[in-house]
Structure 1
Amino acid sequence: MAVLRFLATATACAGAAFAIGHFMESGVSRASATPVDLPQTFADPPMLTAAATEPAPVATAVFDRPRLSRSPDRLPGLDTHAAASAADGCESRLTAEPRPGAIAALRFVAPCAPEARVTLRHQGLTVTLLTDAQGTAGVLFPALSREAVFMAEAAGATAVARTVLPDVAQWRRVALQWRDGDGLSLHALAPGARHGSDGHISRATPVAAGFGPSMVALGHPAVPEARLAEIYSAPAQDEAVLSVEIDVTARNCGAAVLAELVQADAGRGLTSTDLEVTLPGCDAVGELLVLQNLEPGRTLAAR
């Protein structure tokens, strides 16, 4: 049958070609000739093919990266301590005041955003706060740069503030940031110290008076999609060894945990270390993972 279809088609094509030649020899111009529809021929039955598609990119959680080029001089229109923006007739305002120990006292006011989620950013760190019934939130933030810039956003309104902290070079700062529910914590052990001894610093360690080592927890865990951080502060000559601990819980067992360690010192500036860990299954709930050798500028992955 395929041979018969081929012969019939060939005969039709030959006839059409002969007719066209006859018209051309009779002096009929191409402009006045009647077009002839030639039948399509296929050696095999036509097949429909779908356009090739590329696989969708795999979504990854990305943290804000510290950028050394974030200079207050490149933010025109800001005054010494605060800049405000208005949205829908409600003015939001962020102020930053320097405190001893290279600490910035931040106060965010958003009258039209009571009990709202606030996203606060500084030098690659992102934490979430919660305003009170009057739309205000405050935090003491260990700064990572001398000319510190902070940005707060709530209910679509953004406010920016900056302050100068001349003594930031006297401090070693290491910050760990992650998403709520991952059970992370930052720990520092002084030379010769053991876990739970006097030389062990964590968020459970009471903040001592003076200028000794301390750990500050930032972020409100009750906020939806909370972003949390812990910042370790110590004099610049500090030699404590840092580690990250992850509690395996029913909420994070078997999941991939992404976090970032941001370090600031006078010699190297800002450096970061990516942490990518796949936790064991839920039969390991209650176990503790400890990540060490947290060298800056690298990615630490564990499976």
Structure 2
Amino acid sequence: MLRSKEIITAAGALVCAVGIGFVMQKSETAQMHYGKNIDEIPASEMPVLEGAGAKNALLDVQEITLTSAEFDNGIALPDTDAEIMTVAAPASVLAEPEMPSAGPNPACEITASARPVAAAMVELSMDAACMPNERITIHHNGMIFTETTSASGTINLKIPALAEESVFIIAFPNGDGAVVQTTVEELEDYDRAVLQWKGNTGFQIHAREFGAEYGSEGHIWEEKPGDIAAAVSGEQGVLTRHGDTRAPEPLLAEVYSFPKATNGRGGNIALSVETEVTEANCGLEIEAQSLEMQPDGKIKTQNLTLAVPDCDAKGSFLVLNNLLQDLKVAGK
């Protein structure tokens, strides 16, 4: 359940071109704190951590690295007359695990297609009967995640577009794959932010629309993601998650989309990234990457390396306030 465990706020030491805030806080004070801006809470209201069992403390999270750069995937668009081609997998921003491979299979026929659908999404389909239950990697304009083909070697996915001329690369571990392209004219009607990571690190995007508090109607996150129909009508944003969590060391992504063209309200959408301290990540160094669409159509990326607190802090949440830029929405 939301906020059934601790939520901790902490200040982080960075090596970066932009600032980032960390929050760790106890559930008993969550209602008080999330009812107002975290940055406005005086330091005097934050108790000092004393001993391993201390709660509701301002912690100093060290060894955080955050860099900012403009993304260029270096992938040329395929010719419009060659919508499908065999390709080798490009290098990933988040390193993939070494997977067993039988090598290229020249007899394997792979067909794929892409078409635009509602909310500036793309329906991506592939048929590779010779590749049942096989790991695949999807690449799109900097976003990358892993999926698994069905028992008949097919996939059918809906993926948020990150470019009007959208190119999708589907890559198998043995080097086989396909490239498809489609035009998404509605993309300019949406603001979009992506968070991607590797493995069971517990990362989540939280969007609080127009002053919404945690757990209220305008709080969009994994357990209350909204829906495509509401996004199309302009009622609220929608969160989609991509990647097969059952695959070994999966690459996963979350995408928050807001319908700026059909929305009638004006104001701010607060975006934050959170991860729970669990048995799977406590005491480890974890990595993530954010991708944010800019007004000129380019993608801004930031790479995060974070040292998670030791296992004494299990059940707490790390809240990254500034990894994703808040959205400013102009009312009609």
TM-score of the alignment, normalized to the shorter chain, above 0.5: yes
Question: 1:143 pairs with 138, 151, 161, which one?
Answer: 161
The amino acid across from 1:243 in the alignment is S
State the partner residue of 2:22: none
- Asked if residue 79 in structure 1 is aligned to residue 71 in structure 2, the reply is no
Structure 1 distance, partners of 2:161, 2:140, is: 8
Structure 1 distance, partners of 2:240, 2:171, is: 22
Q: Assess if the C-alpha contact under 8 Å between 1:171 and 1:265 holds in 2.
A: no
Query: Residues 221, 68 of structure 1: CA spacing in aligned structure 2 closer, same or farther, 3 A cutoff?
Result: closer
The amino acid across from 1:110 in the alignment is A
Question: 1:158 pairs with 151, 174, 177, which one?
Answer: 177
State the partner residue of 2:279: 250
The amino acid across from 2:227 in the alignment is V
Structure 2 distance, partners of 1:163, 1:71, is: 14
Query: Residues 160, 272 of structure 1: CA spacing in aligned structure 2 closer, same or farther, 3 A cutoff?
Result: same
**SS of residue paired to 1:169:** helix
Query: Residues 277, 126 of structure 1: CA spacing in aligned structure 2 closer, same or farther, 3 A cutoff?
Result: same
How far apart are residue 164 of structure 1 and its match?
A: 0.3
| Gap runs ≥5 in structure 1 | 1-59, 297-303
Query: Residues 273, 193 of structure 1: CA spacing in aligned structure 2 closer, same or farther, 3 A cutoff?
Result: same
Q: Assess if the C-alpha contact under 8 Å between 2:119 and 2:228 holds in 1.
A: no
- Asked if residue 174 in structure 1 is aligned to residue 193 in structure 2, the reply is yes
Query: Residues 250, 263 of structure 1: CA spacing in aligned structure 2 closer, same or farther, 3 A cutoff?
Result: same
State the partner residue of 1:215: 239
Query: Residues 232, 150 of structure 1: CA spacing in aligned structure 2 closer, same or farther, 3 A cutoff?
Result: same
- Asked if residue 289 in structure 1 is aligned to residue 318 in structure 2, the reply is yes
Name whichever of 251-260 and 82-91 sits farther off: 82-91
Name whichever of 227-236 and 86-95 sits farther off: 86-95
State the partner residue of 2:257: 233
Query: Residues 112, 68 of structure 1: CA spacing in aligned structure 2 closer, same or farther, 3 A cutoff?
Result: closer
Larger RCO: Structure 1 or Structure 2 (Cα < 8 Å, ≥ 6 residues apart)?
A: 2
Q: Assess if the C-alpha contact under 8 Å between 1:66 and 1:125 holds in 2.
A: no
State the partner residue of 2:26: none
Q: Assess if the C-alpha contact under 8 Å between 1:201 and 1:213 holds in 2.
A: yes
Larger radius of gyration: 1
**SS of residue paired to 1:79:** coil
CA deviation string 1:175-224 (max 9, x = no partner): 00001211111111112110111111112224152423100000000111
State the partner residue of 2:212: 193
- Asked if residue 66 in structure 1 is aligned to residue 57 in structure 2, the reply is no
Q: Assess if the C-alpha contact under 8 Å between 2:70 and 2:299 holds in 1.
A: no
How far apart are residue 275 of structure 1 and its match?
A: 1.8
The amino acid across from 1:294 in the alignment is L
How far apart are residue 155 of structure 1 and its match?
A: 4.5
Question: 1:112 pairs with 110, 117, 130, which one?
Answer: 130
The amino acid across from 2:145 in the alignment is V
State the partner residue of 1:123: 141
| Gap runs ≥5 in structure 2 | 1-64, 88-103, 262-266, 326-332
Query: Residues 139, 65 of structure 1: CA spacing in aligned structure 2 closer, same or farther, 3 A cutoff?
Result: farther
Percent same amino acid at aligned positions?
A: 32
How far apart are residue 236 of structure 1 and its match?
A: 3.2
Q: Assess if the C-alpha contact under 8 Å between 2:71 and 2:298 holds in 1.
A: no
TM-score, normalising length from structure 1? 0.71
How far apart are residue 70 of structure 1 and its match?
A: 4.2
**SS of residue paired to 1:216:** strand
- Asked if residue 100 in structure 1 is aligned to residue 130 in structure 2, the reply is no
TM-score, normalising length from structure 2? 0.65
The amino acid across from 1:229 in the alignment is A
**SS of residue paired to 2:301:** strand
Structure 1 distance, partners of 2:252, 2:71, is: 16
Q: Assess if the C-alpha contact under 8 Å between 2:138 and 2:168 holds in 1.
A: yes
Q: Assess if the C-alpha contact under 8 Å between 2:275 and 2:317 holds in 1.
A: yes
The amino acid across from 1:114 in the alignment is P
How many pairs does the alignment contain? 232
Query: Residues 295, 222 of structure 1: CA spacing in aligned structure 2 closer, same or farther, 3 A cutoff?
Result: closer
Structure 2 distance, partners of 1:131, 1:266, is: 35
Q: Assess if the C-alpha contact under 8 Å between 2:205 and 2:273 holds in 1.
A: yes
Query: Residues 124, 230 of structure 1: CA spacing in aligned structure 2 closer, same or farther, 3 A cutoff?
Result: same
How far apart are residue 88 of structure 1 and its match?
A: 2.4
How far apart are residue 144 of structure 1 and its match?
A: 0.4
Q: Assess if the C-alpha contact under 8 Å between 1:188 and 1:200 holds in 2.
A: yes
State the partner residue of 1:274: 303
Q: Assess if the C-alpha contact under 8 Å between 1:243 and 1:290 holds in 2.
A: yes
State the partner residue of 1:224: 248
